[in-house]
Amino acid sequence: MNYFIDRDGQQYGPYTLADLQRYVASGDILPTDMARSEGMDAPLPVSQIIGTIQVPQAPVSAGPVTFAPQYPDPPNLNWGLVLLFGIITCGLFTTAWDIVQAVWLRQIAPQSKALYYYVGYVANLVLIVVLSAMASYQHVSNPLVRILQLAGFVVHVTGRFSMKNSLERHYNAEEPMGLLLSGIMTFLFGGIYFQYHFNDIVKRKNYDRAMVSAS
Amino acid sequence: MSGSGRRWIANLAALFGVMAAYLLLRFPPAESRFYPRCPVFAWLHLLCPGCGGTRALAALLHGRVAEAVHWNAMVVGLFPVAAVFFAISYWRAVRPGTFQWPAVPDSALKLLLVVVGVFTVLRNLPAN
């Protein structure tokens, strides 16, 4: 059974019972946090869900508890601004922002291939501009441009889905946050959609840091 | 990201900005053919909110404000805001310490997106 945590109007999860135990032990989830699952009518405190199941104790540290960021935070420009800058630059800003996101992704998931696809897409764009300009000066049309446009579209979409897969893998294993990305939203909005989730991830990580600092 | 890496990216972005401004000044879009066409206009024959933006920026850089407004009034209106936003971002990126993007109130952002939507509809009305 999977559980969701409600905290400050935000929903986190899904978590298994084992996840809940582990996070309560590490202090990331408080026993007083409210949790619910699909079969529950109303949320219950985590302490009641864990109940009498023994929670492994966190190791006692000699010094004060400090948060050690193992992975860098995602780029945190407001997703609305990414959309706005993308609109007024006819997509150029979002193309550049895709690269920024993919460079960051390589830091947390070095096996990710998204950066290669995005760089390939940009190189393809440059080639299209050059060929279009040459064809325009010669007053002819170049059929290769259409083929390159189609190839660019395929490479761009492949990059988006490569990014989606790497993000889901990372945020459900190394940094378990229960991230689940929609295929349709990835296809339609790509980097803007990812940015929306990055803003949420940074907010959650900042909250966790504040909780760790406060405890 | 480390501070030096962040400064490197910020300086690279600033260099691209200066190069783009030089390109627009030296080769005005109205007289040069190598600028890419807007894909929205090319495929759908609709004016997207950014259509005419490159020409508007070129006109602005030449000090021809009226011409810039004619090409794209929204880009002209947003240009000072975007310039301040990126100037603050650049300053924060190159100085030591933790980087944070300048905060923009959600309400302002939503208003801007609505303005962009209305502008797009208005500029595609048959009367225009």
The one-letter amino acid code at A20 reads L
Q: How far is A133 from chain B (nearest CA, A)?
A: 5
Angle between helices B3-26 and B53-61 (to 10 degrees): 80
Which of B6, B8, B33 has the highest number of chain A CBs within 10 A, making it the mutation to test binding with A? B33
Residues in A whose CB is inside 8 Å of some CB of B read 72, 76-78, 80-81, 83-85, 87-91, 104, 107, 125, 128-130, 132-133, 136-137
pLDDT in tens, chain A (215 residues): 778 787 766 677 777 777 777 777 766 777 788 888 877 778 888 888 876 555 555 444 444 444 445 788 999 999 999 998 888 787 888 999 999 999 999 999 999 999 999 999 999 998 988 888 788 777 777 788 889 989 999 999 999 999 999 999 999 988 888 899 999 999 999 999 999 999 999 999 988 888 888 87
Q: Using CA atoms, how far apart are residues A122 and A124, in angstroms rounded to an integer?
A: 5
Give the residue extent of every domain in chain B.
3-123
Model ipTM value:
0.77
**In this structure, what DSSP letter does residue A43 have?**
-
Bridge partners of residue A45, in order along the sequence: A34
Q: What is the DSSP string of chain B?
A: --HHHHHHHHHHHHHHHHHHHHHHHHS-TTT-S-SPPPHHHHHH----TTTTHHHHHHHHHTT-HHHHHHH-HHHHHHHHHHHHHHHHHHHHHHSSS---PPP--HHHHHHHHHHHHHHHHHHTSTT-
Q: Rounded to two decimals, what is the model's pTM?
A: 0.70
